[in-house]
Structure 1
């Protein structure tokens, strides 16, 4: 769990601070991976039995399926192609699916990091 958390933290910070549109492929790939991780994480969160987490999960899920993130996906698909996009999205999805139920229930750090990541992406991409 700690390894996943450190990886997520590192990639969130890297992609949030170093990315500008078309900056470089690695930063873009990490942004797609992190976006997918957070979307999948929040989807799994809404499936838990804890009602407080369900509310948080719904809020996160709406952000990661909102217009700004849809625009990011459109730009990345046009820039790199569908295979690239699906491959990097799969990486984020697989990482999120490996989280145990206890990590979902008792580690609010994922939600905090995903919120911070969404804030940075939305701020940067809102006008694009």
Structure 2
């Protein structure tokens, strides 16, 4: 187990599913080594927290990554990763009216700041 801690900051979803798939694939690989990591979703990435949305991301160009929906399920259900949703983006993307994925929680940007004081941030 690594003593390092990470926060994956994701800012894309439908606009660049290959970047999302690459980030989630890397996270799954890192979690296999029992690395502590969580996610902070910002901008368009907050849509990933909307239950069922990841299944719509079917136009990946890179075959070497698993589908986004499968990776998200593995991370939330099998590996217990937490997905924090930027509170400033919730209303804009109507997440206040949506069912969210397991292990997700709405948090302010200050929470990300606190995490970055303790963890290494990786932005995708």
TM (normalized to structure 1)?
Answer: 0.31
Q: Point out the structure with the larger helix share.
A: 1
Structure with more strand by fraction: 2
**TM-score under structure 2 length normalisation:** 0.31
